[in-house]
Amino acid sequence: MEQFLVEMFLPEITEDFVEMIPSQRDYINDCMAKGSICSYALSADRDKVWIVFNTKTELEMRRLLNRFPIIKMVTYKSFPLMFHNSMELMLPAISLN
């Protein structure tokens, strides 16, 4: 598997953009559940999003990215990663048993 960081530049917030947010969140949640997206972060000023993809190829990452409901309203840059560490990967899952 390969990992890619995508830096996405968001437009000014308009009513059309706001209407797409629920479908965007649903798509992101689906990709995260499948493991295609490892993390998704929005800047405090709401003008950038950073996404870490975990895909077999760059082409697969771009296909997923092109399915984003907001893709026609944004610009982005992508960067191949050597690795992506996060606390979630380091902590064992909690068992309630």
**Predicted confidence (pLDDT) per residue in 50-65, tens digit:** 999 999 999 999 999 9
Stated pTM of the model: 0.85
What is the CATH superfamily name and number for domain 2-90? Dimeric alpha+beta barrel (3.30.70.1060)
> Does position 74 have pLDDT exceeding 80, yes or no?
yes
> What are the tokens at 14?
């308009």
**All residues at 6 or more sequence positions from 45 whose CB lies less than 8 Å from its CB, including other chains:** none
Structure confidence at residue 86 (pLDDT)? 73
In the prediction, which pLDDT does 53 show?
A: 97
Residues 6+ apart with CB under 8 A from 97: none
Least confident of 8-12, 19-23, 74-78, 86-90: 86-90
Question: What was the pLDDT predicted at 83?
Answer: 82
> What are residue 76's phi and psi, to 5 degrees?
-155, 165
